[in-house]
Each structure stands twice: as structure tokens, then as C-alpha cells.
Structure 1
Amino acid sequence: MSITADQLALFIGTLSVAILSPGPGVIAVSQSAFALGRRRALPYGWGLAVGASVWCIFALLGLTVIFRALPWTYVALKILGGAYLVWIAFKMWRHAADPLPDPAESSRGMGFFGGMMLNLSNPKPALFYSAVLLSIFPVLLSAGDKLAIYATAISVELAFYTALASLMALPWLRRRYYAAKFWIDRAAGLAIGLLGLSLILRH
């Protein structure tokens, strides 16, 4: 493999920071755990994890082919991906003090397929994964590299949503989570913003 353990560790850290900030999937899994317990919330969380990881596959399969055929797309995607990360960071920072809204739908009936479709309905993770992959790993990746990256991504996603569904079923932790939302968003926004700037400015 051409990728290093340090690169994989950075990938794990970046992905963890990105999914830590509350979003629709996090809110839905949290509310499901609050209302129905860990057992009912876990399948939905696993579906969200698999749905997000599918976008990682698309990013991995498409990058090498496109860059070989059209080298200029590498620079363009770096700039677009970096700008997108900076935009995400700005939104995280700006809305850090906003309260968490209630999910639009009831927690009933949430299952693996529903969670997967929620993340597949939003193509933005594809751009996010592309930007992160570009900023951390070499341009040309072997099949083994891609398999290692995907295995890392799905492991992080599954671990996060499993932990979220398990921990958010505890009422005392729910209160602490809401209380820490401001600092979670600010820290995540700063880290992702720096990554986006480095992607734009790095030669």
C-alpha cells in the first residue's frame, strides 16, 4: 500500500470531527434513542453509516479515473472541495449557538433502510469525502489503498452511530450533549475550516 498509518490516522480524526457536529442524522438517531431505546435506534444508525460510506466508494472510484483523463480536474476539485469545507466550517461556527431542532418525523418505523436512504438522498458527502481524500492521500491509489480507506470510513461511521445510539439512550448524557453543542460546533468548524484552507493553498 502507498498510504501510511499516519495518513489513515489523520483520515479517522478528520472524519470523526466532521460527523461529531450535530446534523439531521445525528438528531434523528438521538431522538430515536431517547424515545425508543438503544435497540430500536441502532438499525437506523447503522443505515446512516452505510449510506454515508457509499459516497466514500463513489469518491474513491471516480477520482483516479477522472484525474488520469483530465489532469486539470485535480486542481479544480481541490479548490471546490476546499471551498466547500470552508463553507461547512462557516456554517458550523455561525450556527453553534442555535438550539437543536426536533426531527420533522416521528421516531417510529425508523430502520436500517430508512437511515441509509436519508444519507443517500444528500450527495454532499461525496464532495466532502473527495475533498478529504484529496487533502490527505496521494492522487493515485491502488485497489488495496482504496479498500483500506473504505474499511476505515465504514468502521468510523459504524462506531460513531453505534456509540451515539447507545449513549444517547442515557438521559444524563443527553443533557450534557445539548449543553456542549456550542463548543462541539466551534471546534469542528475550526478544524474543518483549516483543512479546507490547506487544501486550497497547498501546491
Structure 2
Amino acid sequence: MITVTAQQLQIFAGILVPAILSPGPAVIAASQSAFALGRARTLPYAWGLAFGASLWCAVSLLGLTIIFQTLPWTYTALTVLGGLYLLWIAWKMWRHAPDPLPDPAEGTGGISFWGGVTLNLSNPKPALFYSSVLLSVFPLSLTVLDKVAIYTTAVSVEMIFYTAVACLMALPWPRRRYYASKFWIDRGAGLLIGLLGLTLILRH
């Protein structure tokens, strides 16, 4: 039996959309892949990123939120680790901003469905987000069908978003702009991700 309401699911999706839109390593990775490799090569990678992010929702539904409630220090620890991870990503982007774009014909072993899954599973930020939102939007007591409905909403929103990123960023105009301004775009993105990481750490 489903006990969550359509309104709760809409609120959940409404919170999820702007959170995904915020600068993050997965969005940057999908965008840069689309710029360099085009839509067809990037779509499987984008879908992997979406599925990997949605798995954090599944993990949260299966009990991560309970762990956070029972042992509050685990939430703080995961937040700090997530912030450090984002700082590492930011440093890599800043340092490699002068590097040329990869050749589309080579060096794309990680640009695959499973490469996308791995990238988002290596980033604990979605776990923090999903756990927080689930606790604030839905009741603690959820049926199996409730969890299926919530997960289906999450994976649908993630898939739609990352598909849109792969398609839009592969269009000729944004690709030309990126080629012309790669250094400053990468430096700016690295700075934004670094600020997000610092924010995560300093909040605790």
C-alpha cells in the first residue's frame, strides 16, 4: 500500500531539480564529455551518472537515514568527507584547466555507463542530500511501495536531467563557446566546486 501522497512526491522532485542543477562534479563531467565527444558518446555516460546518483536514494531509503538519526556523528563525518572530495575535484579541475581537450578517439575508457555510475558512487554528496530530503519530506515509516515510488521519482528526474545535459551541451554553439573559453570555464567551475566543498566542511 502506498501512503506517500502525490504532493509529497512533487515536493521531493521540486527539491531534487535545483539540487541537481547546482554545480557538481557529475554535471561538470557530463558537460565536458558532451563538449569533447558529442551526444552519442556521452549519453551512456550521462545515464550512468544518473543511475549512480539514484542509487544513493536507494541506499538512503534502505536505512542510511536511520543510521544518521541514531549516530549523528556519521552524518557529520560523511559531510566532511564529501567536502574534502569536492575540494579534490576542484583542485584537479583548476590544475588541468590549461590542458587540451582529450581526443574523442582515445582516452575515453571511463566515458561509459559504468564509468558514470562509479563517479557518482564515489561522491558522498548525493547521500547527504537524499538522506536530508527524505527525512524532511516523508514520514519515517514507509512501506515497500512508498520506497519504490520515491526511488522511481528520483531516478526519473536524474535520467531526464542528465539526458538533457548530454544533448544540450553537445549542440554546436555551446561546444564552440567551450572550445574558445575552456581555460576560464574550467577554472570557474573548479572555484565553484571548491566553494561548495568548503561550505560543506565549515557547516560542521
TM surpasses 0.5: yes
Alignment partners' CA distance in 2, 1:74 and 1:173: 44
Aligned to 1:108: 108
1:24 aligns with 2:25: yes
- SS of the residue corresponding to residue 14 of structure 1 reads helix
- SS of the residue corresponding to residue 29 of structure 1 reads helix
Gaps of 5+ in 2: 179-184, 197-204
1:74 aligns with 2:75: no
For the Cα contact (< 8 Å) 1:60–1:146, is it kept in 2?
yes
Aligned to 1:123: 124
TM-score between both structures, scaled by the size of structure 1 = 0.67
Aligned to 1:54: 55
| Residues 75 and 62 of structure 1, relative CA distance in 2, 3 Å threshold | closer
| Residues 146 and 102 of structure 1, relative CA distance in 2, 3 Å threshold | farther
Runs of 4+ more than 6 Å apart? none
Aligned to 1:197: none
For the Cα contact (< 8 Å) 1:27–1:102, is it kept in 2?
no
- SS of the residue corresponding to residue 146 of structure 1 reads helix
5 Å matches for 1:90-169? Answer: 102=97, 106=102, 108-109=108-109, 110-169=111-170
- SS of the residue corresponding to residue 8 of structure 2 reads helix
For the Cα contact (< 8 Å) 1:28–1:103, is it kept in 2?
no
Alignment partners' CA distance in 1, 2:108 and 2:57: 29
User: What does the per-residue CA deviation read over 1:138-180, in whole Å, with 9 as the maximum and x for residues that have no partner?
Assistant: 111110100000000100111111000000011434659x7xx
Return the letter of the residue paired with 1:137: F
For the Cα contact (< 8 Å) 2:35–2:174, is it kept in 1?
no
User: What does the per-residue CA deviation read over 1:91-147, in whole Å, with 9 as the maximum and x for residues that have no partner?
Assistant: 9xxx9xxx9x75999472310011101111122322221101001111111101000
For the Cα contact (< 8 Å) 1:29–1:165, is it kept in 2?
yes
Give 1:5 deviation, angstroms: 1.1
Give the share of equivalent positions with the same residue, in percent.
58
Alignment partners' CA distance in 2, 1:44 and 1:63: 26
1:35 aligns with 2:40: no
User: What does the per-residue CA deviation read over 1:38-87, in whole Å, with 9 as the maximum and x for residues that have no partner?
Assistant: 000001111111111111111001157x48xxxxx63875xx58xx6xx9
**Aligned Cα RMSD in Å?**
3.7
For the Cα contact (< 8 Å) 2:30–2:46, is it kept in 1?
yes
Gaps of 5+ in 1: 68-72, 190-203
For the Cα contact (< 8 Å) 1:27–1:103, is it kept in 2?
no
Return the letter of the residue paired with 1:149: I
